[in-house]
């Protein structure tokens, strides 16, 4: 028998801890990614056991929707609800002010809509996602409508960014988002003002949304592997 991968177990523990924060009779934003997938699984298990009742989920991606259905979580849309009580979502970088870079799974546009609407937004990460400054290790994902790709790339270069079109598995073609758009990953030497950069990027015509999330995370649950053992 092979030992369980401690990183995987740690992600599972973080997802489980976030799922435990969901209360009965609530509307839950369901994030995207490998860590949130565990939260979705455990919300489903709590529902199945009867410990949790009358919740409804708002998925942030096709991936989240498929998982929620698999684990028996009833779903709704933003047209049918007045608010979201709690959202659980992953991140690619988190700074000391709880600002985030998201979009490693190309889902940041819907994630931003759902996560910002939530009364409480729980971020689930492993300790490797913590950075002193956003952009230290991860590029900023920018969703762009396909016909605007060239002018958007040029505008980003003028801002000092190094844009790269995100390619899919085996580089067979570009990654296509749930909205039918493409993603540019933009490296910046320095992001001194994430609040401003978020607005500036979104002001470029043809940009739908970028992966900088500021002033929205309430709680960050951090998983670590200490002495080979996962902990939250
Ligand atoms: C998807 C995201 C994810 O939440 C982010 O990439 C983190 O994913 P993971 O938990 O798999 O590391 O923003 O667009």
For 109-130, how does the pLDDT look when each residue is reduced to its tens digit (9 = 90+)? 999 999 999 999 999 999 999 9
Residue 83 binned pLDDT confidence (cut-offs 50, 70, 90): very high
- Alpha-carbon distance of 216 to 187, in angstroms, equals 23
pTM here is 0.95
In this predicted structure, the answer to whether residue 218 has a pLDDT above a threshold of 90 is yes
Give the strand order in the sheet containing 93-94. 93-94, 100-101, 212-213
Ligand 1 — pocket residues by CB below 6 A?
31-36, 89-92, 102-108, 111
Of 215, 167, 212, 221, which Cα lies nearest the Cα of 191? 212
Atom number in ligand 1 closest to CA 104: 6
Give the residue whose CA is nearest to atom 6 of ligand 1: 104
In this predicted structure, the answer to whether residue 227 has a pLDDT above a threshold of 80 is no
Residue 143 · residue 208 · CB < 8 Å: yes
User: Residue 4: what pLDDT?
Assistant: 77
Q: Predicted ipTM?
A: 0.99
Of 18, 29, 22, which Cα lies nearest the Cα of 125? 18
Torsion of CA 203, 204, 208, 209, to 10 degrees: -60
Residues with Cβ within 8 Å of residue 39, at least 6 apart in sequence: 15, 16, 18, 19, 30, 31, 88, 124
Average pLDDT, the chain: 96
Q: What is the pLDDT of residues 21-31, one digit of tens each?
A: 999 999 999 99
User: Residue 91, annotated ligand binder?
Assistant: yes
Q: Average the pLDDT over 85-113 and give the result.
A: 98
């Amino acid at each position: 028998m092979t030992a369980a991968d401690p990183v995987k177990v740690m992600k599972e523990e973080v997802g489980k801890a976030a799922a435990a924060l969901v209360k009965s009779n609530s509307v839950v934003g369901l994030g995207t990614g490998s860590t949130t997938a565990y939260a979705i699984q455990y919300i489903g298990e709590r529902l199945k056991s009867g410990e949790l009742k009358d919740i409804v989920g708002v998925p942030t991606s096709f991936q989240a929707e498929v998982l929620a259905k698999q684990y028996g979580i009833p779903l709704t849309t933003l047209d049918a609800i007045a608010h979201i009580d709690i959202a659980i979502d992953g991140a690619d970088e988190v700074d000391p002010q709880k600002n985030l870079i998201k979009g490693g799974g190309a889902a940041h546009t819907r994630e931003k809509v759902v996560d910002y609407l939530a009364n409480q937004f729980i971020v689930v990460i492993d300790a490797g996602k913590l950075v002193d400054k956003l952009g230290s290790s991860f590029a900023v994902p920018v969703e762009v409508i396909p016909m605007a790709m060239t002018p958007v790339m040029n505008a980003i270069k003028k801002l000092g960014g190094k844009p790269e079109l995100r390619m899919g598995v085996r580089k067979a073609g570009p990654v296509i988002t749930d909205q039918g758009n493409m993603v540019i990953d933009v490296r910046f030497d320095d992001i001194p003002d994430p609040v401003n950069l978020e607005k500036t990027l979104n002001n470029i015509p043809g940009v739908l949304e970028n992966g900088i999330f500021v002033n929205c995370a309430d709680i960050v649950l951090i998983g670590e592997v200490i002495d080979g053992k996962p902990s939250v």
